[in-house]
Amino acid sequence: MLTKEHRATTDLRDRFGSLVAACEADLLRTARRLSRYDEDRAQDLVQDAILRAYVAAKDGRFDLGASLPETRGYLQRIITNQFINEYRRKIKWDAGTDVETLTAGGQTGPVQTHAKSADVPGSRLDDETLDEPLEKALAALSEASRMVVQLVDIEERSYEETAQLLDVPIGTVRSRLARARQNLRELLSEYAQAKGLI
């Protein structure tokens, strides 16, 4: 016969497993986009988010009665925040990083990345609106610029929150975003004309 504690743990695991299974594809898409489609890194980000959320649920800090979009958003926030923390550590400890280049919002040489919008509640973009030209334009941005576009334009975070997450001054967020938007405008001008957007 199962004890109450064992039954409660089993119920928690089953409910949590159902929620995670329902949004796992979205979580992987978010992690892949952030990790530039490095499958191992994406899997690590997702597994870390799932583990953190499970511990939070077990400790009563996360409500398993939340709706699927709330759960997905919560897990995607964990993934995004973990990625940002790794990015900060990389900048802080990478002896080969040119600090002036990073604060200017660019990197030496082209950076290859692949991005799709996050499936986050409140997002202005969704995956159906991102076709190949837009993906290529986002891929052409430096990681620093891409992160600002991700946080401000896709996840709709404030400049202040973005500055705190990236641990940079708010002016740096604004200049990176302005530069990234200008780059996107230039890269997408033909695309926009063909779509009748301008």
**Is residue 177 within 8 Å of residue 152, measured between CB atoms?**
yes
Report the alpha-carbon distance of residue 50 to residue 34 in Å, rounded.
Answer: 17
**Is residue 47 within 8 Å of residue 2, measured between CB atoms?**
no
The encoded tokens of residue 50 equal 């799932």
163 has pLDDT over 60: yes
Q: Which one, of 153, 174, 154, 155, lies nearest residue 163 by Cα?
A: 174
Q: What is the dihedral of CA 125, 32, 193, 121, to 10 degrees?
A: 0
Find where tokens 């690590």 sit: 44
Label residue 129 exposed, middle or buried (CB < 10 Å: 0-12, 13-18, 19+): exposed
Report the alpha-carbon distance of residue 193 to residue 136 in Å, rounded.
Answer: 17
In one-letter notation, the amino acid at residue 178 is A
> What does pTM read for this prediction?
0.54
**Is residue 155 within 8 Å of residue 120, measured between CB atoms?**
yes
> What residue segments make up the domains of the chain, in order of their start?
1-96, 98-198
pLDDT score recorded for residue 94: 55
pLDDT digits (tens, 9 = 90+) for 26-37: 999 888 888 878
CATH of domain 98-198: 1.10.10.10
pLDDT digits (tens, 9 = 90+) for 100-157: 444 344 443 333 333 333 333 333 444 434 567 777 787 788 888 888 988 888 778 8
